[in-house]
Amino acid sequence: MNPASEDRLLGEYRLKELVAENDVSRTWLAEQISVSRRVLVDELRADRPECREAFLADIRAKAGVDHPLVGSVYEAVDAADVCFFAHELLPGETLAEQVQAGKTLLPARLAHVLRRIAEAQLQHESLGQATSAMDVDAVHIDSHGVIRLKNLVIAGARDPVQSQGDAVRLGNSMVALIAAGKPGATRIQTVLSWMRGEGIDEPISWSQVRDFCMQVEHQLADPLSSLSPTQIDMFGRKKAPIGMIAGITAAGLLGIFILAFKMRPPTPTAPPRAELPAPVDIPAGKYPTPDGVEESFPAFRLASHETTIDEYDAFLQTLAVLAKSNGEHTFDHPKQPEKKISHEPDGWPALLALAKANGVIDGKPVTLDSPVVGIDWWDAAAYAEWKKGRLPTQEEWFAALNYQVKAPAAIVPGIWAPVATTSTDRTPAGLLGMAGSLAEWTAELESNPANPLGERHWVIIGGSYLKPGSNALTREWIDDRQLRRQDLGFRVLFEVK
């Protein structure tokens, strides 16, 4: 419709343009005056008072949605003369606008978008939330590639065929977005055809869509494609021979064709995951420090393992939720540089996709329980704050290392691998990965004993799987808290009150 101009106040919202209208309500582009924020306002039409209860019921249903991808409801007002609600103005273009403009997405990117849609739909299903029909006009992608979905939840019980209908619509509409001729295009076309119900005996589920798209992402992803040349060197990866690449591609295509031939997509099952060990209690007492003296410490608790991919993903999802109300910096360190605007690790989409698919990097298994890499000091500090803890000082880290240990240098270093209590890189108290796995950030500036009168620097402590000969006593002094490496992680300390 042609936007109509308006400039009136509705509560604390200044209405700017009429952007949509139906027989029950009008949707306005508006400004929330108190915070100078652009929002959308849906207003019940004055000539439809009999629809007020149903209108309010839909608002309550939308406000009950808690998913980082789905648009938020900010406020609802039910007064004698007005009835409206303000909600998030999602950034970027919709997929419908991209289709209309003739734009396409690379198959790996389209698989990621479709997987994220499936994840949101699965939450709606699990909670029994009814939704209005979904199509590509409900999917927004901003200039940074962030995906957001229009809040389509409505009052009432979920229709048993809602998911099937949404899958069919998207299966039809998203075909135009496939970048033809690019690697993976055939695989995405196959998934979309299953969503339309073609070549299968039973409707495909959103969990199957999610898992198939995850497989496609994994098959297409070069896990280092988003990393810098320096980071690639740290992984020690060499270019695969052309024959090997062709073989991998053929194997991926063969897998799709076999599934299509069977006429029914199977439901992949993830391997069982062991519960991660709890933090280790370090009692109060005197402990040696890295610089050869003894120091008294109060009791504290130290994470038994380095922060994992899954744990860090939960943190990023929390930030995504907070970002909807401009709270994404809630856990930032007070001195964090203004130019640092994200806590997403280097190479994160590829790493997370590999972890969810139980992939392999350089012969090393990667799962959600593998320690997270590619993070800097600011990321680690923000995560620790979110966990209601903090980074340990080098002295605290060393005190924990020495608890019940006679010879820390004798601990057998471990590789970068999923957290496992069977690791040889383990103290008697249960601390894992101190001698190997990843080197770790600590909390404070410290002097280098090789130059005690020199400038203090940030300390990275513990052994690294990429540095043969390093062990639990290894330390590095660096002056850049924005350093990110593929052998650098962290663990969290919790104070005992």
Pairing of strands 280-282, 139-141: unpaired
User: Distance of CA 482 to CAs 337, 377, 466, Å?
Assistant: 10, 6, 20
Q: First CA to last CA across the chain, in angstroms? A: 61
Q: Which helix (H) or strand (E) holds 16?
A: strand 13-21
What φ, ψ does residue 365 adopt, rounded to 5°?
-65, 140
Q: Which two tokens stand for residue 279?
A: 């933090």
pLDDT at 221: 65
User: Distance of CA 289 to CAs 279, 348, 375, Å?
Assistant: 21, 35, 26
- Taking residue 273's Cβ as centre, other Cβ atoms within 10 Å add up to 11
Contacts of 156 (CB under 8 A, 6+ apart): 57, 61, 130
Rounded distance, CA 481 to CA 269, Å?
40
366 touches 359 (CB < 8 A): yes
Torsion of CA 448, 300, 463, 294, to 10 degrees: 40
- Taking residue 431's Cβ as centre, other Cβ atoms within 10 Å add up to 27
Distance of alpha carbon 262 from its chain centroid, rounded?
34
Q: Which two tokens stand for residue 360?
A: 């392999």
CA torsion through residues 154, 159, 163, 164, sign = negative
Radius of gyration for the alpha carbons in the chain, expressed in angstroms and rounded: 26
User: Distance of CA 428 to CAs 254, 273, 378, 425, 472, Å?
Assistant: 48, 23, 31, 10, 14
pLDDT at 272: 59
Q: Which two tokens stand for residue 79?
A: 């007064």
195 touches 168 (CB < 8 A): yes
Pairing of strands 153-157, 139-141: unpaired
Rounded distance, CA 484 to CA 347, Å?
11
Torsion of CA 56, 60, 65, 71, to 10 degrees: 40
Per-residue pLDDT of the chain (497 residues; tens, 9 = 90+): 444 556 789 989 999 999 999 999 999 999 999 888 999 999 999 999 999 999 999 999 999 988 888 999 999 999 988 999 999 999 999 999 999 999 999 999 999 999 999 999 999 998 999 999 999 999 999 888 889 999 999 999 999 999 999 999 999 999 999 999 999 899 999 999 999 999 888 889 999 999 888 888 877 764 333 333 333 233 333 333 334 333 434 444 334 333 433 333 443 344 456 789 999 999 999 999 998 899 999 999 999 999 999 999 999 999 998 998 889 999 999 999 999 999 999 989 889 988 998 888 878 899 999 999 999 999 999 999 999 999 999 999 999 999 999 999 999 999 999 999 989 999 999 999 999 999 999 999 999 988 888 899 999 999 999 998 999 999 999 999 999 999 999 999 999 98
312 touches 60 (CB < 8 A): no
CA-wise closest residue to 221 among 195, 196, 194, 252: 252
pLDDT at 80: 86
Q: Which two tokens stand for residue 375?
A: 């993070």
Contacts of 9 (CB under 8 A, 6+ apart): 15
106 touches 177 (CB < 8 A): no
**Strand blocks (E) in 289-427:** 294-297, 300-302, 359-361, 364-366
The type of residue at 387 is K
442 touches 493 (CB < 8 A): no
User: Distance of CA 480 to CAs 90, 196, 231, Å?
Assistant: 35, 52, 16
Contacts of 57 (CB under 8 A, 6+ apart): 155, 156
The type of residue at 78 is D
DSSP string, 23-77: SSEEEEEEEETTTTEEEEEEEE-TT-GGGHHHHHHHHHHHHT---TTBPPEEEEE
56 touches 83 (CB < 8 A): yes
Q: Which two tokens stand for residue 409?
A: 């240098």
Task: Give me the half-sphere count of Cα atoms (radius 13 Å) on the Cβ side of residue 310.
Answer: 16
DSSP symbol at 114: H
Mapped onto helix, strand or coil, the DSSP state of residue 489 is strand
Rounded distance, CA 119 to CA 97, Å?
23
DSSP symbol at 105: B
